[in-house]
Structure 1
Amino acid sequence: MTHPSEYLSQGYNCAESLIKSYNENFNENIPLALGSGMGAGLTVGSLCGAINAGILVIGYLKGRSSNSENNMARNYSKEFITKIKENYTTEICKELKANKISCAEIVDFSYKTLISVLEK
């Protein structure tokens, strides 16, 4: 299994790294470009790009095709964010960095949490 932090060290941003790992480990084809604008907390220190990409993957896999369907992605997204906040107390990039959480750590933790949430 390729960890997202390996791609991070190769120059991919945190969101791209998470998407790339998911695609390779689960034989998916989620467009990597969807994560290109998400790195560094949407480039302004806001929602962590790795967390944002996790929610994107959830939407891709569990999202609905019409408004007549039950929106299961919301439940998965809520559980995903809740688990991250339980561990780090925040999902905000600039706050994670202020707490000395490295991008490599949060991208790997987000990925592990994503897989855990999706397995249910």
Structure 2
Amino acid sequence: MLREVAEKYYEQGYNCAEAMLRAGNEYYNLQLHDSDMRMVAAFGGGFQSGDICGALSGSACIISCKYIETKAHDNQEELKAITQKLMDTFEARMSSKLCSVIKPIYYTPEVKCRNTVGLSAEVLESVIHEFEEQK
């Protein structure tokens, strides 16, 4: 399960976005390099400001890597559909898309944001699974 892989990376010290992208790279064989994954470091902590959850941002990056071969405009309708499904499903599951709202609910000093990462991975995996079944 993607959740276990994402939690593994989070426990290695990667932030929410980094853990999600590394997990997606491994789980979906996206063939990204370490240098590619550094690009999402600033997404953690809701873009370091409590804004859009880093785990959600990392999930969107996985969708892009998985489904876009050249650029978004070449596959705009499909990208929009799966990304909107991700956003809606994530918000329904987590009560918000904002780190500043999610963190007080799921963060604990013992596990930090591991719960958020795990639940985000479950959301992403279900969205991708449903999307692939509908194709």
- Give the TM-score of the pair, scaled to structure 2: 0.78
Instruction: Classify the secondary structure of the residue corresponding to 2:12.
Output: coil
Instruction: Classify the secondary structure of the residue corresponding to 1:114.
Output: helix
**Larger helix proportion, structure 1 or 2?**
2
Cα pair distance change 1:57/1:68, threshold 3 Å: closer
**RMSD between superposed Cα atoms in Å:** 1.8
Q: CA deviation at 1:15?
A: 0.6
1:1-120 to 2 correspondence within 5 Å?
Answer: 1=1, 2-30=4-32, 31-63=36-68, 65=71, 67=73, 69-98=75-104, 100-102=105-107, 103-119=113-129, 120=131
Instruction: Classify the secondary structure of the residue corresponding to 1:38.
Output: helix
Q: Alignment length, in residue pairs?
A: 119
CA-to-partner distance for each residue in 1:42-93, whole Å, 9 max, x for gaps?
Answer: 1111000010011111122223636354431111111111111112220100
- Give the TM-score of the pair, scaled to structure 1: 0.87
Gaps of 5+ in 1: none
Identical-residue share of aligned pairs (%): 23
The runs of at least 4 aligned residues of structure 1 exceeding 3 Å deviation read: 66-71
